[in-house]
């Protein structure tokens, strides 16, 4: 039994299809054909709005879902991180209930695949229900060099627990301001790491730390007696400092990029060369507005043809987990970006970034990408 679907417009993951196109979908949600409506026979269902493949959320922290509404807005990143440390403890029931409800919110909002940051095993039980596809980014931090070995050994245990259930897991660094060269080296060299993600240039304090070894993070580390002895600033931006430690054939998702400058992008382009498609810039505009009321220079990134994907970040820094909402916020602040591009970032680009474009991200024969109806809101129809 096939369903035949058409709408005011169909976006196929790459572009809008010619008017009068239709989708043939089988009972398992598999795309059987994309063809002119006139060739689809009768019983074609018409929808008012845009049909789109399901959304890909490239950056989330499902395990922080119980922090929804707990952290005040516009505190800046350093205070935000301090509050996360204080507030993240809760009962197992509070944590697991919040995880389940955040996941069902994502499903409801048309998200099919998620790149999810994990510092612990709290999300495993929910994820084994396989309601959504997850790439688990098992995250490690530790700024003093002497912490590299113990922290890596500890995170390996978490990683192995994920790996028993899910093949798609990797070990990733938290941020340039929170990993040492030694720890980053261990992560990059870890044999199973085919995909890495890192929080990048989320705050100007990261730049100040890397250029002058001072500012908010230096204060933060001295307040908590965390040694900075092993860190030597080279006067470069954090991105230009750390990027040479990565391998150009190892796909990397840079998350946030609020303080990324054109010189950083130029540097990244020359570092990756022909393999620049391995570098993704993940935008999480609602989280940036929540934490610091500031957005990345999307115009500059766009003019430099950066490979964009979109994330929601966690409910600690967002009122909802909804990629369509992120798209609409980007559209509002950067109206020059065509909707076609924004949808591409949320679908095929995200699927490529998470290495699931054989299943998700576009209406192509054989894929099961989900079918969303976009209008005022988002509704999943397949
Ligand atoms: Zn994050």
Tell me whether residue 368 is in a domain.
Answer: no
Distance 286 CA to ligand 1 centre (A): 12
Residues 190 and 89 both lie in one domain = yes
Same domain for 219 and 249, yes or no, is yes
User: Each residue of 308-324: pLDDT tens digit?
Assistant: 999 999 999 999 999 99
Whether 147 is in a domain gets the answer: yes
If you measure from the C-alpha of residue 136 to the centroid of ligand 1, how many angstroms do you get, rounded to a whole number? 13
Question: The tokens of 229 are what?
Answer: 């002895």
- Over residues 191-215, the mean pLDDT reads 95
Q: What is the 255 CA–ligand 1 centroid distance (Å)?
A: 7
Kindly give, in sequence order, each residue whose CB lies less than 8 Å from that of residue 171, ignoring residues fewer than 6 positions away.
138, 139, 140, 152, 155, 156, 159, 187, 190, 192, 193
Please give the distance, rounded to the nearest whole angstrom, from the Cα atom of residue 34 to the centre of ligand 1: 37
From ligand 1's centre to the CA of 313, what distance in Å?
5
Domain-embedded: residue 365: no
pLDDT digits (tens, 9 = 90+) for 111-159: 999 999 999 999 999 999 999 999 999 999 999 999 999 999 999 999 9
Q: Domain check: are 62 and 108 in the same one?
A: yes
Residue 192 pLDDT > 90, yes or no?
no
Q: How many domains does the chain have?
A: 2
Please tell me the distance between residue 169's alpha carbon and the centre of ligand 1 in angstroms: 16
> Is 69 in the same domain as 28?
no
Judge whether residue 198 has pLDDT over 90.
Answer: yes
Residues 235-264 have a mean pLDDT of 97
Distance (angstroms) between ligand 1 centre and the Cα of 124 equals: 18
Distance 26 CA to ligand 1 centre (A): 37
Which stretches of the chain are DSSP H helices?
A: 77-87, 92-108, 124-127, 148-165, 181-189, 204-212, 216-223, 238-242, 262-272, 285-292, 298-303, 323-333, 339-344, 350-353
Q: How far is the CA of 60 from the centre of ligand 1 (A)?
A: 6
Same domain (yes/no): 237, 317: yes
* Domain contains 18: yes
CA–CA separation, 113 and 352 (whole Å): 11
In angstroms, the CA 301 to CA 229 distance is 34
Q: How far is the CA of 116 from the centre of ligand 1 (A)?
A: 9
Give distance in angstroms: CA of 197 to centre of ligand 1. Answer: 10
Q: How far is the CA of 74 from the centre of ligand 1 (A)?
A: 16
Q: Residue 1 has what pLDDT?
A: 83
Mean of pLDDT values over 195-201: 98
Shared-domain flag, residues 45 and 108: no
pLDDT for the residue numbered 372: 98
Rounded mean pLDDT, 270-290: 98
| 8 Å CB contact between 297 and 336 | no
Q: 47 CA to middle of ligand 1, Å?
A: 36
Say if 67 falls within a structural domain.
Answer: yes
pLDDT at residue 86 in the model: 87
What integer pLDDT is reported at residue 194 of this predicted model? Answer: 93
* Length, in residues, of the chain: 382
Q: Is residue 370 part of a domain?
A: no
Residues 91 and 75 reside in one and the same domain: yes
Q: How far is the CA of 123 from the centre of ligand 1 (A)?
A: 16
User: Distance between CA atoms of 47 and 333, rounded to whole angstroms?
Assistant: 28
The CA 170 to ligand 1 mean position distance, Å, reads 16
Q: Does residue 78 fall inside a structural domain?
A: yes
Residue 54, CA distances (Å) to 103, 203, 344 in order: 15, 31, 11
Residue 297, phi then psi, degrees to nearest 5:
-80, 75
> In this model, does residue 88 exceed pLDDT 90?
no
Least confident among 14-28, 77-91, 154-168: 77-91
Range of the domain at 227: 55-360
Quick: pLDDT tens for 95-104: 999 999 999 9
pTM above 0.95, yes or no: yes
- Ligand 1 centroid to Cα of residue 305, in Å, is 23
The number of angstroms, rounded, from the C-alpha of 211 to the middle of its chain's C-alpha atoms is 27
Q: How far away, in angstroms, is 360 Cα from ligand 1 center?
A: 23
Task: Determine the distance separating the centroid of ligand 1 and the alpha carbon of 179, expressed in angstroms.
Answer: 15
CA of 40 to the centre of ligand 1 (A): 44
Task: Quote the distance between the C-alpha of residue 244 and its chain's center.
Answer: 22
Ligand 1 centre to CA of 111 (Å) is 17
101 plus 161 within the same structural domain: yes
Q: Is residue 304 part of a domain?
A: yes
- What spacing in Å lies between the alpha carbon of 59 and ligand 1's midpoint? 6
Q: Tell me how far the alpha carbon of residue 379 lies from the centroid of ligand 1, in angstroms.
A: 26
- d(C-alpha 364, C-alpha 351), whole Å: 13
Q: Which residues contact 191 (CB under 8 A, 6 or more apart)?
A: none
Which CATH number do you get for residue 101?
3.20.20.140
Q: Do 13 and 118 belong together in one domain? A: no
> Residue 252 is inside which H or E element, if any?
strand 252-256
């Amino acid at each position: 039994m096939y369903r035949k679907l058409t709408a005011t417009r169909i976006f196929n993951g790459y572009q809008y299809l010619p008017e009068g196109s239709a989708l043939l979908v089988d009972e398992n949600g598999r795309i059987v054909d994309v063809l002119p409506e006139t060739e689809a026979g009768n019983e074609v269902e018409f929808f008012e709005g845009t049909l789109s493949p399901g959304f890909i959320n490239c950056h989330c922290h499902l395990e922080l879902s119980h922090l929804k509404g707990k952290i005040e807005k516009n505190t800046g990143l350093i205070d935000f991180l301090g509050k996360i440390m204080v507030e993240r403890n809760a009962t197992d029931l509070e944590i697991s209930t919040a995880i389940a409800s955040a996941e069902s919110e994502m499903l409801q909002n048309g998200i099919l695949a998620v790149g999810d940051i994990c510092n612990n095993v709290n999300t495993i039980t929910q994820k084994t229900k396989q309601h959504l596809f997850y790439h688990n980014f098992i995250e490690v931090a530790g700024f003093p060099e002497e912490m590299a070995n113990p922290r890596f050994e500890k995170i390996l245990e978490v990683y192995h627990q994920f790996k028993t259930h899910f093949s798609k897991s990797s070990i990733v660094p938290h941020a340039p301001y929170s990993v040492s060269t030694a720890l980053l080296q261990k992560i990059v060299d870890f044999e199973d790491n085919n995909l890495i993600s890192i929080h990048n240039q989320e705050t100007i304090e990261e730049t100040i730390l890397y250029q002058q070894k001072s500012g908010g993070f230096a204060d933060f580390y001295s307040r908590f007696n965390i040694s900075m002895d092993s860190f030597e600033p080279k006067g470069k931006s954090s991105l230009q400092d750390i990027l040479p430690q990565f391998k150009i054939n190892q796909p990397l998702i840079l998350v946030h990029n609020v303080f990324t400058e054109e010189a950083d992008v130029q540097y990244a382009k020359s570092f990756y060369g022909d393999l620049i498609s391995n570098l993704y810039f993940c935008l999480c505009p609602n989280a940036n507005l929540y934490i610091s009321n500031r957005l990345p220079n999307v115009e500059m990134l766009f003019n430099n043809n950066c490979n964009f994907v979109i994330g929601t970040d966690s409910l600690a820094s967002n009122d909802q987990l909804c990629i369509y909402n992120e798209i609409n916020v980007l559209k509002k602040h950067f109206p020059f970006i065509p909707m076609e591009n924004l949808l591409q970032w949320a679908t095929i680009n995200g699927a490529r970034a998470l290495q699931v474009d054989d299943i998700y991200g576009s209406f192509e024969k054989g894929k099961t990408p989900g079918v969303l109806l976009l209008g005022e809101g988002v509704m999943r129809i397949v």
